[in-house]
Structure 1
């Protein structure tokens, strides 16, 4: 007969306290890492959104310069209207050498989450006040019709 002390002890079923604590620590660290990745992704998304909006605003202001709404006589600055009231702009024209040609720099900026965001667009533009527009163009005069009558001769 085998005594109780001679029997092999059975392995316990389940997890030990150290294994549970280690699993909880790994879970906690992974949740913190995923949360940080979400924050970084959100920051990059906001920066991309600001870059897109800023470039559209800079292009619209450059179009105003090309149309002659904003004069090329000196630096102009201000804020946009409506939903874009947080955005500021500065238009800086510089003579580029040939008459009526300017290098125009448009800077748009705003503060997002305490950080300054700025976008710069530069383009060479002819002064629209010195050039004509398609509306001012005149159609060239039509040439006079050539004389097609003939005098004399015989017809077969």
Structure 2
């Protein structure tokens, strides 16, 4: 007697092609995710460097406003000290129309991973040599101070609040 074999049915489990395809998808996804992680890290570093450059530019602008550096006489260039020695700065000024008003531009730069990075700050500034400072201001004399609507001029005191002048003799 001959026996009939039953028809072949699919075996449960994964075939070799399915396993290879799943591994290929996993490798591609892992590569893409790691690349996105690297891009995010680079952008974070770049943002940190840009913010440091902006702070350094603001400090040089404050020095220009205070008159500690003089960009009005041909500009100023240099390098920062200490932890910021990798940064260089350039300060330039151009006349902005009205007398003693200048457009001051501070540019700080450095190389980050072989790529130049620059941060520029532009602001209109009055010539600090002509403005002076609050330390240079003189205190007024006590005789020239106006208080509570009364002023003293040449030893004659008069009130300026609600006073009116009429002609004629006073009783």
Provide TM-score, normalisation by structure 1: 0.85
- In the alignment, which residue of structure 1 is the partner of 2:109? 109
Measured after TM superposition, the shift of residue 133 of structure 1 is 1.5
Q: Which runs of 5+ in 1 are unaligned?
A: none
Give me the whole-angstrom Cα distance separating, in 1, the residues matched to 2:78 and 2:139: 40
- What do residues 109-145 of structure 1 show as CA deviations (whole Å, max 9, x unaligned)? 0000110001111111111111121222234432438
- In the alignment, which residue of structure 2 is the partner of 1:58? 57
1:36 partnered with 2:35: yes
- What do residues 50-81 of structure 1 show as CA deviations (whole Å, max 9, x unaligned)? 11111111000000000111012111101111
Give me the whole-angstrom Cα distance separating, in 2, the residues matched to 1:106 and 1:37: 34
- In the alignment, which residue of structure 2 is the partner of 1:122? 122
Give me the whole-angstrom Cα distance separating, in 1, the residues matched to 2:54 and 2:22: 48
Measured after TM superposition, the shift of residue 10 of structure 1 is 4.0
Give me the whole-angstrom Cα distance separating, in 2, the residues matched to 1:13 and 1:2: 28
Provide TM-score, normalisation by structure 2: 0.78
Measured after TM superposition, the shift of residue 97 of structure 1 is 2.6
Matches within 5 A, 1:1-156: 3-5=3-5, 7-71=6-70, 72-140=72-140, 141-142=144-145, 143-144=151-152, 146=157
Q: CA RMSD in A?
A: 2.3
SS state of the match for residue 108, structure 1?
Answer: strand
Aligned residues: 149
Which structure 1 residue ranges, 4+ long, deviate > 6 Å from structure 2? none
SS state of the match for residue 117, structure 2?
Answer: strand
- What do residues 73-113 of structure 1 show as CA deviations (whole Å, max 9, x unaligned)? 11110111111110110001112232211111111000001
SS state of the match for residue 20, structure 1?
Answer: helix
After superposition, the Cα gap between the structure-2 partners of 1:15 and 1:73, relative to the gap in structure 1 and judged at 3 Å, is: same
